[in-house]
Amino acid sequence: MGVWKQISEYLYLSKPDPARPKTQWVRYMHGINRISILLFLFAMLVILFKVFFRS
């Protein structure tokens, strides 16, 4: 599975793979990955905001 496809599944931009295992631990792992991706994107937005709108 491609990296971009996996990220789009984490962020609910595409449907999840039906062949993916559905155990509780895999769900926890995907939830933590989803949180880390969102925090990374938020941090990138903050950095870009500081760079372009520095007073």
Q: Where are the domains of the chain?
A: 3-52
* Cβ atoms 10, 30 nearer than 8 A: yes
What would the two tokens of residue 4 be?
């971009």
Tell me which H or E stretch contains 18.
none
> What does DSSP assign to residue 6?
H
- Report residue 51 as tokens: 């760079």
Interacting residues of 10 by C-beta distance below 8 A, sequence separation 6+:
30, 33, 34, 37
Per the confidence metrics, is the pTM higher than 0.85? no
Query: pLDDT, tens digit, for every residue of 27-52?
Result: 898 889 889 988 999 999 999 999 99
- DSSP H/E element including 16: none
pLDDT tens digits, one per residue of 14-33: 777 777 778 898 889 888 98
